[in-house]
Amino acid sequence: MKEEISLEELEIRSWKKRLVWSWSFTIPIVFLMYFSKLTGMMLFEEKTMIILQLILAFPVIFIFGSQTIKAGFRGFYTFYFSMDSLIALGTVIAYLTGILQFVFDIQDYSGISAMIMSIFITGKYIESVARGKAGKEIKKLIELGAKNARVLRSNKEIEIPISEVKIDDVMIIKPGEKIPTDGIVIKGESSVNESMITGESLPVDKKKGSNVIGATINQYGILYVKATKIGQDTFLAHVIDLVEQAQSSKVPIQKLADKITSIFVPVILILSILTFFGWYLFFDELTKGIGAAISVLVIACPCALGLATPIALTVSSGIGAKNGILIRKGEAIQTMKEIKFVVFDKTGTITKGEPEVREIYSLIDEKKLMLITASLENLSEHPIAKSIVKKANLKKYLEVKNFKIVSGKGVGGSISNKKIFIGNEKLMKENEISLKSIQAKIDDFENKGYTTMIVSENKKIIGIIGVADAIKEDSVRAIKILNKKGYKTIMITGDNERTARAIASQVGITMVISNVLPEDKSKKVKELQKKGKVAFVGDGINDAPALKNANVGIAIGTGTDIAIEAGDIILTNGSLMGVVKAVNLSKATFSKIKQNLFWAFAYNVFAIPLAVMGILHPVVAEIAMASSSITVVANANLLRRKKI
């Protein structure tokens, strides 16, 4: 089977081929130019030397450098000038001096033109190698996937290529093997190392009913997994797609740099013309004027400016992928540094999203209360409903009629012609059910941080169920760090204020927005945006509108449950420390982008005046220009040393 070659590898090979061939012709030119100067001996007479240089330089400029020449001169008839425009014009003018030398008394720069183009191609090759290294994270992600799968077909265990796995195939994964594709465990127990996807070092326990992600590694037990997603629908494929999106996206500062480049290039073209006429008209130096004009064109080529942001984003997105942070939109990198408020959804974000029944207060027989409650809640998919059903642990449920879900408030229905409501105080008040007799108990539950589910039968309260969701182990640590960094942390929830504050106080959040329906979260985000920029952290599914409306949406979730399309930044594990890492990575990346832009401009600002004054030789100018690009690439790769 033929090995698939990446676009980055093809680009590296292309530039390497041009580099080898261009220097194959340029080295003899250098030998011809400097042999007589070093030895005092003439190999050929001057006219012959110039002809040889023109012959040798031609393929360097017009064959190996043809891509640059075409792209550069395209700007002169489209009026959209690029960095290639300066190199193309500079090398062609330098080459033409060799021909014009036979007519006018000017210095021959034709050999210099080949040197400029060869150095430019060398710089491009070094850049492509650096880009390739930065883009290797995608290749590594692709390589994570299993190549083969062991599946059950006609009750026989066979091994097939991963491409032949079908949905609903039962895969057998032995200890130490990679899980071929996303699926659900139907038999067996084990722990799975998901660090390559989530960045979380501790293995995750898996049993019947657990979701598993393709490319993760089974630890000790044999798992039987039914394939639920294949090919481009798998979680790993989505991760790869997101990393590629991030590497090709632009941040606002890059758009500014692009605008500057579009103005900068024409200005340099005019400056080059003025430099030539300045030397020729005021100093009668035709040769000096041509050399200085070529130097201005070459040194001013803003290659480094074009590289400054993309190379930093490429490196950053690779680092993020390793740490379970997927940057879906590059602009989030810049916006993050301006964030004032970090708003957290409660359930599944600060808490584990796996509520448990902690306390039951019954005004009737407790078994009867749980039978009625579980019969209704069994028809709901809400996590709180599932916790009540789990607690009741019934084999048979009562018949429910007219079942309905009241969003953000609870459920209702009829059992044995009796009207049942289960939900919060809002639901009870809407249905004119008095809470006076149990208000003290409600207050007690809420002070303990319980989500209080009130149960009524024919408008009479028959019990209260206190449900609590365990706080994630590192939520306290993450929020403490964010508070220390100066962010205003806020919790937003559908719980009443007392319950919400009890949870918030446990994790160190002082501002709480409670009693908020899911559809109203985005409105609260918009209200906060009047005071400053907002990052919203949610589970990426129920919180999608708020994630979209926030200045930066951070979707937090685990494995296949994550709603990849919801956020600007996506965390592949459930830890809030991922938010801290995302903040640190964003700041580090934007810092590198600013440093790169500084270096890109610094070379030009310092060197252009020297070129205008005729101090900078065209070859030295090209070496300096190539150096600026290499500096930017090297600086971006220093991001890898940053601990996030």
Q: Which residues are catalytic?
A: 345
**Location of structure tokens 């009890």:** 502
Alpha carbon 396 to its chain centroid, in Å, reads 48
Cα-Cα end-to-end distance for the chain: 40
Under 8 Å between Cβ of 389 and 365: no
Count CA atoms closer than 13 A to 444's CA, side-chain side.
Answer: 10
| Joined tokens for residue 416 | 């044995």
Strands 339-345 and 533-538: parallel
Under 8 Å between Cβ of 560 and 584: no
Q: Output the DSSP codes for 282-326.
A: HH--HHHHHHHHHHHHHHT--HHHHHHHHHHHHHHHHHHHHTTEE
Q: What gap in Å lies between CA 503 and CA 424, rounded to an integer?
A: 17
CA distances from 525 to 5, 43, 269, 571 (A): 45, 78, 48, 20
Which is it for the CA torsion 400, 402, 407, 408, positive or negative? negative
Specify the amino acid at residue 491.
M
Under 8 Å between Cβ of 344 and 350: yes
φ/ψ bin of 182: left (φ > 0), alpha (ψ from -120 to 50), beta (otherwise): beta
Under 8 Å between Cβ of 566 and 553: yes
Q: What gap in Å lies between CA 401 and CA 421, rounded to an integer?
A: 12
CA distances from 557 to 115, 141, 180, 347, 364 (A): 54, 20, 22, 11, 39
φ/ψ bin of 412: left (φ > 0), alpha (ψ from -120 to 50), beta (otherwise): beta
Strands 223-227 and 183-187: antiparallel
Give the closest residue to 68 by CA, choosing from 98, 97, 99, 90: 90
Under 8 Å between Cβ of 251 and 328: no
Q: Which residues contact 481 (CB under 8 A, 6 or more apart)?
A: 580
* φ/ψ of residue 505, rounded to 5: -65, -30
Strand-pair partners of 492: 345, 513
Q: What gap in Å lies between CA 570 and CA 40, rounded to an integer?
A: 67
Q: What gap in Å lies between CA 492 and CA 521, rounded to an integer?
A: 8
Give the closest residue to 559 by CA, choosing from 348, 249, 332: 348
| Joined tokens for residue 639 | 């991001």
> Which segments of 148-251 does DSSP mark as H helices, in order?
195-198, 235-248
Q: Which helix (H) or strand (E) holds 343?
A: strand 339-345
Q: Output the DSSP codes for 525-580.
A: HHHHHTTSEEEEEE-SSTTHHHHHHSSEEEEE--GGG--TTT-SEEESSS-THHHH
Under 8 Å between Cβ of 61 and 117: yes
| Joined tokens for residue 374 | 């579980």
Give the closest residue to 457 by CA, choosing from 491, 490, 413, 501: 413
Q: What gap in Å lies between CA 92 and CA 118, rounded to an integer?
A: 13
